[in-house]
Amino acid sequence: EWLATMPLVVGTLAEIVFQLLPFALLSLGFAGFYALLPATKVQWKAALVGGMVGGCLWQLNNLLSVLYVSRVVANNKVYGSLGMVPVVMIGLYFSWLILLFGAQVAYSFQNRRAYFQERQVESLDQHSREFIGLRIMVEVARRFLAGEKPVTGAALSELLGVPTGLAGKLLQALVSAQLLAENQQGEATYLPMRPLDKITCHDVLHALRSNQNGSVSTRDDAMREQVRGHYDRFQEVQKAAAGNVTLATLAAEASSPVKE
């Protein structure tokens, strides 16, 4: 009644605010739930997006339930108390569905880059994997040389602009080859496992190649040995070139300012 005594514009705005207030409160509540409850770090921006979706759907579900209950009360003589059973069962089902759907929206928003880059990873060739792995090693070495704190896999992924999953696989390959040391206290961080002048580019490339799922040998004939001889010579030339460049050299070049 007090809204009727207020000016038309103010009363209209106040009415709109009161109608939207449940949506806002539920959205904030869902956002807090999505941000604090999971046993992993959830960005507040992602939690707010999921909370807005979950909160709005929850309030719409409440409005539809109220509408249905009003119809049940009007037809109480026909259905009796059994008319409330579908409300409780369907309401419980949709409540859990909305809660989980909002959580999925928050997860998808936080990992949206990974979805867009997933197809790139599937079509990634070996040369690209080796180049990204070499960049990871150089960045870890550069930070170590500069005395900065160890870097995490997520930070490397963000810095280099590569998918988190791909960065994780390459890091594990480098750890398995004993080129990187992984500190698993809290969020995993990475440091060089050997002196930088003892790690060559060939070591990095060899670690990324030997991590693949084996190889298939061809039929043993004269042509096989001839091709094998040429292939081995190619590998020796590449090994000689890559073996002359150490990680210390690349890290020093990365730390120095770029000359225009």
Quick one: which H or E segment has residue 190? strand 189-192
pLDDT in tens, 94-142: 999 999 999 999 998 988 776 776 666 767 788 889 999 999 999 999 9
Q: Please report where in the chains the tokens 């040369």 appear, as a residue.
A: 127
Question: Which domains does the chain possess?
Answer: 8-110 (no CATH), 124-255 (1.10.10.10)
- Rounded average pLDDT over 29-54: 91
* Residue 237 pLDDT > 70: yes
Cβ atoms of 251 and 145 within 8 Å: the answer is yes
Strands 180-183 and 151-152: unpaired
pTM: 0.59
- Rounded average pLDDT over 186-213: 88
